[in-house]
Amino acid sequence: MAIDAKKEERKKQLIVLAFTLLLIVVGSIGTWAVLENKKDGAREIIMGSNGRGSVEKAADVEGEAYYVTIPQPFIFNVLGDSQDRMVQISVQLLVRGKNNDRVAIQHLPLIESTLLQTFGAATVEQLRSPNGRTDLSRLAKTALQSTLLKVSGQQVVERVLFTGFVMQ
According to CATH, the superfamily of the domain at 63-167 is Band 7 domain (3.30.479.30)
Mean pLDDT of 11-29: 83
pTM beyond 0.85: the answer is no
Give the C-alpha separation, 111 to 95, whole Å: 13
Higher pLDDT: 61 or 168? It is 168
Nearest to 145 by CA among 120, 122, 114, 121: 114
Higher pLDDT: 50 or 1? It is 1
**153, HSE (Cβ side, Cα atoms, 13 Å):** 1
pLDDT digits (tens, 9 = 90+) for 76-134: 998 877 888 999 999 999 999 999 999 999 999 999 999 999 999 998 888 888 999 99
Q: What is the pLDDT of residue 53?
A: 37
Query: What's the mean per-residue pLDDT of the chain?
Result: 82
pLDDT at residue 54 is higher than 60: no
Percentage of the chain lying above the pLDDT 70 cut: 83
Domain-wise residue ranges, the chain:
2-60, 63-167
